[in-house]
Amino acid sequence: MKETVVSGIRSTGNLHLGNYFGAIRNFVKMQHQHNCYFFVADWHSLTTHPTPENLHTNIRSVLSEYLACGIDPDVATLYVQSDVPEIPELYLLLNMNAYVGELERTTSFKDKVRKQPENVNAGLLTYPVLMAADIIIHRANKVPVGKDQEQNLEMARKFARRFNHMYKVDFFPEPKAFSFSNELIKIPGLDGSGKMGKSEGNAINLIDEEKVIRKKVMRAVTDSGPQEPDQEPTEPIANLFSLMEVVSEPETLTHFKDSYAKCSIRYGDLKKQLAEDIIKFNAPIRERILEISANDDYLRSVVKKGAEKARESASASIREVRKIIGYKSF
């Protein structure tokens, strides 16, 4: 069955290999099977107060990067969130039935309060409401997000359900997490533990230059070497193997795993090979990013068409929502 799928990426930095293998690669496949809406979440990015220059630059680079990875604006609807004013209208309406207590209890909010006590703004508190608006404005039923977004998605379901219940309608579907048919690949970072993330500072961006990639990989955390034959790799080494698994030839991975098992591995060689394979993987994407981001006419046309398609769907929902709530024209 064809589902309506929505997903957004906050425009707070460049896309990295983790984004690519964790999400975007699947979006590219999904766009041919479902009715997909992908957007740059630039309103969400305001919670951390970007400067005007940064705001635009980031939107532009995320958009170029999505396109370079293979999102086809003629197939999916690719848009910038702030081009769709129906989203904040729905956000306002949903806010009337979102309770401060439940918003304060979300883990992402509590995290932010801990991490940035100097900037606990109301936008942060109502972040899940805006995200719910993003999703249900298209009456989406599937949202391809990672584990870290599960609670936000749960809240989106709650707000959709609450609206339906309050007005005794069956208007908004309850959006479910999209489970990819192939298993989700977790891309680890280069710092020895945990996943790749922009805030962790352990990421390789799709746009990184060759020498930057070499430097980052050569600095990756390792250990003091296998202590005995056939030992399970420690986490930092398993992480490097995981990266190899997605960018290198299978024989390369086998070679290094074997030499690890035989205790003859040299981490310098492993890293050199990994860096070259990442460079090889990134090169065509990087080239397309540069090409696309230099093409103003193309970007303008993509954004315009995306906004039109997104607003068509969003305004149909808002018209209906207004009617349901009780707004009538004079």
Please list every residue from 149 through 168 that binds ligand TRP, using CB under 6 A: 149, 152
Nearest alpha carbon to residue 58 among 75, 44, 37, 69: 44
Q: Is 4 in the site for ligand TRP (CB under 6 A)?
A: no
**Does the active-site annotation cover 112?**
yes
Q: Is 6 in the site for ligand TRP (CB under 6 A)?
A: yes
Distance separating the N- and C-terminal Cα atoms of the chain: 41
Q: Whose CB is nearest to ligand TRP? A: 8
Please list every residue from 73 through 132 that binds ligand TRP, using CB under 6 A: 131
Does an H or E element contain 134, and which? helix 127-136
**Tokens read off for 53:** 């220059």
Number of residues that bind ligand TRP (CB under 6 A): 13
**Cα 134-135-137 angle, rounded to 5 deg:** 75
Instruction: Give the per-residue contact string, 165-204, with ligand TRP (x = CB under 6 A; - = no).
Output: ----------------------------------------
Query: Which amino acid type is present at position 230?
Result: D
Residue of 4, 5, 8, 208 interacting with ligand TRP (CB under 6 A): 8
Residue 165, Cβ neighbours under 10 Å: how many? 11
Q: Is 13 in the site for ligand TRP (CB under 6 A)?
A: no
- Least Å distance, CB 274 to ligand TRP, is 27
Nearer to ligand TRP, 68 or 131 (CB): 131
**Does the active-site annotation cover 186?**
no
89 Rama class: left (phi>0) / alpha (psi -120 to 50) / beta: alpha
Nearer to ligand TRP, 135 or 275 (CB): 135
Residue of 63, 143, 270, 321 interacting with ligand TRP (CB under 6 A): 143
Q: Is 306 in the site for ligand TRP (CB under 6 A)?
A: no
Residues in the chain: 330
Residue 231, Cβ neighbours under 10 Å: how many? 13
- Least Å distance, CB 141 to ligand TRP, is 12
Do residues 134 and 39 touch, judged by C-beta distance below 8 A? yes
Q: How far is CA 48 from CA 17, 120, 127, in A?
A: 23, 10, 12
Please list every residue from 17 through 76 that binds ligand TRP, using CB under 6 A: 41, 44
Nearer to ligand TRP, 19 or 273 (CB): 19
Q: Which of 29, 176, 186, 198 is catalytic?
A: 198
Nearer to ligand TRP, 17 or 145 (CB): 145
Strands (E), the chain: 4-10, 35-41, 77-80, 142-143, 176-177
Q: What contacts 23, CB < 8 A, 6 or more positions away?
A: 7, 9, 144, 145, 146
**Tokens read off for 210:** 């060759």
- Least Å distance, CB 200 to ligand TRP, is 14
Q: Is 145 in the site for ligand TRP (CB under 6 A)?
A: yes
**Tokens read off for 26:** 């699947």
Task: Just list the catalytic residues.
Answer: 112, 195, 198
Residues at the site binding ligand TRP, with contacts judged by CB under 6 A: 6-8, 10, 41, 44, 131, 134-135, 143, 145, 149, 152
